[in-house]
Structure 1
Amino acid sequence: MASEQFIDAAGVNESESHARTLRDVRTYRLARVLEQLKQHECPAILLYDPVNIRYATDTSNMQIWTARNPSRYIMVFSDGRIVAWEFHRCEHVWDGIELSVDMRSAVSWIYFNAGNEAEARAEVWASEIVDVFRAHARGERRLAVDRLDPIGAALLVKSGLTLLDGQAMMEDARAIKSAGELVLIGESLRACEMGIERMRRELRPGMTEQELWAHLHFENIRHGGEWIETRLLASGERTNPWMHECSSRVLQKGELLAFDTDMVGPHGYCSDISRTWTVGDTRPSDEQRKLYELAYSQVHFNMDVLRPGMTFREFSEKAWTIPKPYLKNRYSCVAHGIGMVDEYPAIAHEVDWDSAGYDGRFETGMTLCVESYIGAEGGSQGVKLEQQVVLTEHGCVPLTTCSFETEWL
């Protein structure tokens, strides 16, 4: 009986701790949004991006669908007021959220819902947006917006509002993670690691890429995860160049198998891990070993270089030098931010700096993915590796225990 009481008490304590973490994270994230509004002297932000809505309010409603069909939106004011326009009869998605919200019904003016009445409905929508904004904005005209179709933007401007880049504000807000966020990111990563472990157990010659990929989805959904942003799993010759999505191709013993999870897991946080194995867990060939050693070196060299206070350009210049045979097929960036999805910043390779680079400064509390793809131009195989880390005052600390094939080195 005492043992049962101990277990019950432990369970309650764990549940209470988790509830406190969620409350702390919600408070922290909303404060980050309000801080951005105050820094930009902007009275309010209109959010349509479902990831931004989730960040600001921790509410979620059909995120993939509403990303394609804008039909729920919120306005956050710099004084903390929130007006929410929710999808048809879905106010229940706010249950348990400790926010004082002015709840309204969304006006959808996308063609799917409005047909040839789209412009007329957009005018109704714009009139309400302007009225709500002016009621709280005290004569201000500056409204930040993250995502908005052309008709809507044009109508707000016609009404006298000045639109600011709200997506940039939200990316900056999301860049620095709290201790509570790191706990939630850890929960997402544990679900992802279980999916990876399941893939490893089930991997065998004769199955298709899609059959293998399904095991990651299974564990994600089973543990309360949400979706996977890409289908990046490839085998054999499809590993070079990178960015082939999984197919019905049948796996062959001894060939390379590479994947990139891009998994939006529990609590809406992304787990972004890349690993490369051999099918059948065979001993790698000399070429496979060489590719792997180079990719492993790139990831770990760059993790060792990265420090808070360093500029993005300085990191790009000091990053591992990709050998010439593999330069053309390089990954699209050296590293990128990660949170609820891939986030600011994205660090360009030095060779790409003039066309794709932008500067900034790394800060303690950023969570990042350090990337590598090594595959020779015209080659028949390649290796994809990626490590998810948090940047501390001492440098990069891995957030995942998912192992590398160190015996190949």
Structure 2
Amino acid sequence: MTDDQLFDAGTTVESGGKESVLRDVRSYRLARVQEQLRKHKCPAILLYDPVNIRYATDTSNMQVWAGRNPARYVMVFADGRIVAWEFHSSEHVWDGLDLNVELRGALSWTFFNAGHGAERRAEAWAAEIVDVFRKHAPGDGLLAVDRLDPFGTACLEKHGITLLDGQALMETARLIKSPGELVLIGESLRTAEKGIERMRHELRPGLTENDIWANLHYENIRNGGEWIETRLLASGDRTNPWMHESSSRVLQAGDLLAFDTDMVGPNGYCSDISRTWLVGDGRPSDEQRKLYELAYAQVHFNMDVLRPGMTFREFSEKAWKIPEQYIKNRYCCLAHGIGMVDEYPSIAHQVDWESAGYDGLFEVGMTVCVESYIGAEGGTQGVKLEQQVVLTENGCVSLTDCSFETDWL
């Protein structure tokens, strides 16, 4: 993918064009899943993760609830056939999709649904799964599964089914984004930017963290978005260490306020942007400016280093070196993949490589979030920044125009 193949990040997709984009994206994503199945000589994959189901079929049904309650599942075959077990009276979520799909009713054996009859229901579920699987893949016993509890695993293995790690297969399929996916990601990012602009406009002393955070939710839902994965917004001394979630704390003039959107927006694509602001009309202190300068340097140095063809380990070795006093509170990774949610890979800091690192290769078409958190051990404030990019033949291209506090530098 060259830079001139990128979509115009500010373009609005008209309804007719949007349907064309969606058709292309659906075909591309299903083909990516089929490609992984063929590569692993696996005839089918059973999907429970709502994000994986959305990727393969573009169907969505109570995504957050279904992530906790396994009440719908889909089997995708290497030849493109799909058997879907849909939640009660929800067959309509498949309307208008050009898929070779057979719809059935889902059977759940969670305690909520089955009480103490869970094991019996799991056995009935497994018998149906195996029947469908062997009907379309006779003589083969290898089935990929992305998520399954102990009852389900035991029941399938009792029927002679060998299970393959389907989550790894799906994360690999989701790795490279098509031009159409970049259009949809752009639509999600434009929604996040509206939410961020609204947060910035409302930011003032006397409001609570929750007051500010609500503005991102408002714009996301208002513009057809779906949910927000975390509540990462903090102010004042709650900015150090990072990972405090939005609270009723009242903002004070001179506070730093930092946030991480983690927003699943329109079309199910994630916008993951972090920024840090000053509360009130004053100027940042020397300490605040220093923290910001370091975080800004880390993000932009690492964006300049990152290139397709580079291994994960090489990037970790060449990344910006965090000054000693900020190492303990470093962010959990240097960068991570992004698509419908946070995705493979997660790139470990060099100091963490032996315990948390794994290798791989950056490729053209990957979308990545480059991360920074700078806050001293024992300090009272910190700065969180994050930029979402796509990898092209010429390196990183930012996917958002959301501004930085460059006048602090």
Task: Name the TM-score class by shorter chain.
Answer: over 0.9
The separation in 2 between residues aligned to 1:392 and 1:233, in whole angstroms, is 31
CA distance, structure 1, for counterparts of residue 346 and residue 389 of structure 2: 14
Look up the match of 2:4: none
CA–CA separation in structure 2 for the residues paired with 1:230 and 1:40:
34
- The match for 1:363 is 363
CA shift for structure 1 position 64:
0.5
Measure the CA separation in 2 of the matches of 1:150 and 1:400. Answer: 42
User: In the alignment, which residue of structure 1 is the partner of 2:9?
Assistant: none
Question: Percent identity of the aligned residues?
Answer: 79
Which runs of 5 or more residues in structure 1 are unaligned? 1-12
Q: Distance in 2 between matches of 1:106 and 1:254?
A: 54
In structure 2, the residue matched to 1:238 is 238
Match of 1:259 in 2: 259
**Aligned mates of 2:97, 2:252 — CA distance in 1:** 49
Q: Which runs of no fewer than 5 residues in structure 2 stay unpaired?
A: 1-12
Cα offset for 1:98?
1.2
Q: CA contact under 8 A between 2:208 and 2:248: conserved in structure 1?
A: yes
Tell me the alpha carbon deviations over residues 23-74 of structure 1, each in whole angstroms, 9 at most, x when there is no partner: 0000000000000000000000000000000000000000110110000000
| Partner amino acid, structure 1, of 2:167 | Q
Q: Report what 1:80 is aligned to.
A: 80
| Aligned position for 2:22 | 22
Moved more, 181-190 or 134-143: 134-143
Match of residue 313 from structure 1: 313
Compare relative contact order (CA 8 Å, sep 6+) and give the higher one, 1 or 2. Answer: 2
User: What is the aligned partner in structure 1 of residue 295 from structure 2?
Assistant: 295
Residue 408 in structure 1 maps to residue 385 in structure 2: no
Counterpart CA distance in 2 for 1:154 and 1:395 is: 46
Cα distance in 2 for partners of 1:132, 1:288 equals 61
Question: Aligned equivalents of 2:124 and 2:281: distance in 1?
Answer: 61
Q: Deviations over 1:364-403 (max 9, x none)?
A: 0000000000000000000000000000000000000100
Which shifted more, 261-270 or 275-284?
275-284
Show the counterpart of 1:118. 118
Could you tell me which residue of structure 2 aligns to residue 44 of structure 1?
44
Q: 1:281 to 1:315 in 2, by over 3 A?
A: farther
Give me the whole-angstrom Cα distance separating, in 2, the residues matched to 1:358 and 1:50: 26
2:226 is matched with: 226
Q: What is aligned with 1:65?
A: 65
Q: 1:180 & 1:80 partners in 2: Cα distance?
A: 20
Structure 1 counterpart of 2:202, which letter? E
4+ long deviations beyond 6 Å: none
Supply the distance in 2 between the matched residues of 1:291 and 1:50 (Cα, whole angstroms). 38
> Where does residue 190 of structure 1 map in the other structure?
190
Task: Give the TM-score normalised by structure 1.
Answer: 0.96
* TM superposition shift of 1:146: 0.1
Equivalent position SS for 2:147: coil
SS at match of 1:182: helix
Residue in structure 2 matched with residue 35 of structure 1 by the alignment: 35
Structure 1: distance between partners of 2:64 and 2:113: 17
Q: How many residues align?
A: 397
1:3 match: none
Cα deviation, residue 14, structure 1 = 2.6
The residue type paired with residue 118 of structure 1 is: A
Where 1:46 maps in the other structure, the secondary structure is strand
1:375 corresponds in structure 2 to 375
Q: Report the counterpart of residue 127 of structure 2 in structure 1.
A: 127
Look up the match of 2:108. Answer: 108
Distance in 2 separating the partners of 1:16 and 1:330: 45
Q: Deviations over 1:134-189 (max 9, x none)?
A: 01112110000000011001100111000000000000000100000000000000
Partners in 2 of 1:217 and 1:360 — Cα distance? 35
Q: Deviations over 1:199-236 (max 9, x none)?
A: 00001101110111000000000000000000000000
SS at match of 1:250: coil
CA distance in 2, matches of 1:43, 1:34: 9
Aligned to 2:6: none
Deviation, structure 1 residue 281: 4.0
Q: Deviations over 1:280-307 (max 9, x none)?
A: 1421100000000000000000000000
Question: Aligned partners of 2:237 and 2:37: how far apart in 1?
Answer: 49
> Quick one: distance in 2 between partners of 1:316 and 1:282?
37
Aligned alpha-carbon RMSD (Å): 0.7
Q: With structure 2 as the length reference, what TM-score do the two structures score?
A: 0.96
Deviations 1:238-286 (A, max 9, x none): 0000000010100001110000000000000000000000011421100
Contact map agreement 2:80 2:100 (CA 8 A) in 1: no
Matches of 1:339 and 1:189 in 2, distance apart?
11
